[in-house]
């Protein structure tokens, strides 16, 4: 598929003087945005750009399109998983099962 769009001449001249491959840059930006929106997979991104896994990861990071989540959420999920592991190793009681179930539901809602 070919996608094209017009740029004002002054912007084009400014960008071209910096030696940037405009076609490649526009393609990368568009595909990384599709990845960020979960419209294409990591594999599709790599294949479309002809890059390795690590090169794709760098592009994703450089464009701020990763699926990272805040440190607070990581700490909460880690604590939840530790409680779940502890409960499974020591048997669960009703209140622990309810806490784990509600924690799991919360994790799913946060990721959607």
Residues 65/56, Cβ–Cβ less than 8 Å: no
- Nearest-angstrom CA–CA distance, 43 and 19: 29
Rg (CA), the chain: 22
pTM above the 0.85 mark?
Answer: no
Give the model's pLDDT for residue 53: 94
Give the model's pLDDT for residue 95: 55
Percentage of residues in the chain with pLDDT exceeding 90?
33
Question: Which residue in this structure is represented by tokens 């491959």?
Answer: 21
Percentage of residues in the chain with pLDDT exceeding 70?
79
CB within 8 A of 77, min separation 6: which ones? 107
Q: What is the pLDDT of residues 3-57, one digit of tens each?
A: 888 889 888 888 877 777 888 889 999 999 999 999 999 999 999 999 999 999 9
Give the model's pLDDT for residue 103: 60
Signed CA dihedral, 35, 51, 46, 18: sign only: positive
Give the model's pLDDT for residue 112: 45
If you average pLDDT over residues 90-96, what whole number do you get?
60
Among residues 55, 15, 7, which one has the least CA distance to residue 31? 55
Residue 69 in this model has a pLDDT that exceeds 50: yes
């Amino acid at each position: 598929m070919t996608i094209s769009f017009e740029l004002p001449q002054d912007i084009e001249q400014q960008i071209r003087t910096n030696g940037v491959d405009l076609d490649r840059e526009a393609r990368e930006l568009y595909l990384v945005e599709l990845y960020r929106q979960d419209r294409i997979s990591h594999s599709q991104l790599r294949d479309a750009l002809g890059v390795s896994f690590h090169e794709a990861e760098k592009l994703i990071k450089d464009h701020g399109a990763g699926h990272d989540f805040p440190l607070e959420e990581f700490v909460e999920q880690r604590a939840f998983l530790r409680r779940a592991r502890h409960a499974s190793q020591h048997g669960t009681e009703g209140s622990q099962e309810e806490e784990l179930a509600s924690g799991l539901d919360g994790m799913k809602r946060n990721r959607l």
